[in-house]
Amino acid sequence: MRRATMMQTSGSAAVRNRFVSPKVIAVASLWACLLVGTPVQAEVKLPPVGELLLDFGFSDKEQQQIRDGKIVERAIGEGSDRELGFGMAFMVKAKPEKLAELYRKATVFKALTQVKAHGRISGEGSLADFTGVTLQPNPEKEAQRYVNAQPGEELNLDAKELAAFRALKSAGGQKGDPIKEVEQLVRQALLARYQAYRAKGLSGIAPYERSNGAQRPAGDELLGAAKGSVYLAKYVPTFYDILLNYPAAKSKAEAKNLEEFFYWVNIEVFDRPTFVLMHRMALQVGEAYVGVERQFYASHDYNSMQQVVAALPTLDGTLVLYTGRVSTDQVGGFGSSAKHPVARTLAAPYLKDMFQSVRSRSQKR
């Protein structure tokens, strides 16, 4: 996700360095959130393209740029000083189902060298689903981070997880290989978080323990991100209801048609493994597609992420709308207002490059 000219300050350098992980994970997974299997139908009347773009805040000039084939960025409202928001729109001269077909066949996770491993989580989940979770790269160093874990930002852990690693440390490594012991605890923690989220949704996400007794509630942050997707409430209310209330969506009859998949992914960030739990949901709306990827756990560097993509048919091709919201402590606190535009400046070109690649490949088909 080219670098733009910016103020040469230690703060901006820190944001540049620490913002790599959300960029990488967004590029690794963005489009797959639309392509999670055979889409299903929902009866929703699509609005005119101009109305949609206006709702997203695109000016008349920007709307024309989109129609002319440019990828246009859009700032979106951010719910807290820790949230980074991105919006983009562009046209593709291919039908929505062509895009879906292209990306169903793409091996998104295998395409990036940063993705060290990934796996599908099925049904109630079991430790067998997480067999591929290992402390790669640099397992010795990462194992020590877990064994010596304290409340803070180096690792996103809840109180029970911290207690488990303290107990391992107290045992003094007498049980065997410390790397394997840490890996087993990590697998157990990922399984527990998956099961809690699947049973209770956002309210089931245990908060991360921070220093001085503070907590970081990723579930609340994702709820804020969902509420920020107000255009879904207007155009796809069933989908909006699902985002807010999963797994207890109010629109039972329509919600049962939702396509959803769960994954764990290990992405290398700063020579460290980053374990991410992903929930992908998709719905076909007439001839259009709308999809959401919710990253409800990340082991370090950021707290959560929501990405929404809609591919809408028009007379001139397919309009693609994207919004992304990342919660990270790296842009919060003192100087937050200065860090946010820097981080967005760093991330946007990478997303643009990926979107351009997507469009080029889809139009060659």
pLDDT of residue 79: 59
**Do 332 and 81 meet the contact criterion of CB atoms below 8 Å apart?**
yes
Query: Which architecture does CATH list for 10-132+217-364?
Result: 2-Layer Sandwich (3.30)
Residue 340 has pLDDT above 80, yes or no: no
**pLDDT for position 38:** 39
The larger pLDDT score, comparing residue 349 to residue 356, is at 356
The domain segmentation of the chain, as residue ranges, is 10-132+217-364
153-157, 178-182, 272-276, 355-359: range with lowest mean pLDDT: 355-359
pLDDT score recorded for residue 239: 87
Whether the predicted pLDDT of 318 surpasses 60? yes
**What number is the average pLDDT over the span 19-48?**
48
Q: For position 260, what pLDDT does the model report?
A: 87
Does 236 score more than 60 pLDDT? yes
**What average pLDDT does this structure show over 209-231?**
93
For residue range 140-150, list pLDDT tens digits in order: 999 999 999 99
* pLDDT score, position 51: 78
pLDDT of residue 129: 98
35-72 confidence digits (pLDDT tens): 433 344 444 455 677 777 887 788 999 999 998 889 99
Instruction: Give yes or no for residue 87 having a pLDDT over 70.
Output: yes
> Which of 14, 81, 5 is closest to 270 using CA atoms?
14
Residue 250: pLDDT over 80: no
**Reported confidence tier of residue 15, pLDDT bands at 50, 70, 90:** very low
Query: Has residue 225 got a pLDDT over 80?
Result: yes
Nearest to 218 by CA among 200, 201, 206: 206
User: What are the helix (H) ranges across 149-235?
Assistant: 159-170, 178-200, 218-227, 230-235
- Give the per-residue pLDDT at 163: 97
Mean pLDDT of 64-82: 80
Question: Which tokens in the block code for residue 166?
Answer: 């303290």
Strands 83-92 and 72-74: antiparallel
The count of other CB atoms within 10 Å of the CB of residue 296 is: 26
Is the pLDDT at 30 greater than 60? The verdict is no
Q: Is the pLDDT of residue 130 over 50?
A: yes
Residues ≥6 apart with Cβ < 8 Å to 196: 204, 205, 206
pLDDT (0 to 100) of residue 84? 81
| Rounded Cα–Cα distance for residues 84 and 327 (Å) | 6
Q: Where are the alpha helices (DSSP H) in 176-326?
A: 178-200, 218-227, 230-235, 237-245, 252-255
Q: Residue 75 is encoded by which pair of tokens?
A: 């700032």
Give pLDDT, residue 213.
93
Average pLDDT, stretch 72-82?
A: 73
Query: What is the spatial distance between Cα 303 and Cα 109, in angstroms, rounded to a whole number?
Result: 21
Place of tokens 């593709």: 92
Q: What percent of the chain has pLDDT over 90?
A: 38
Question: What pLDDT is stored for residue 3 in this prediction?
Answer: 34
Q: Give the tokens for residue 247.
A: 């797994």
pLDDT in tens, 269-307: 889 999 999 998 888 777 788 888 899 999 998 899 998
**What pTM, to 2 d.p., does this model score?**
0.83
The stretch 227-238 carries a mean pLDDT of: 85
pLDDT of residue 50: 79
Output the average pLDDT for the chain. 78
Mean pLDDT calculated for residue range 162-180: 85
Report CA Rg, the chain.
Answer: 20
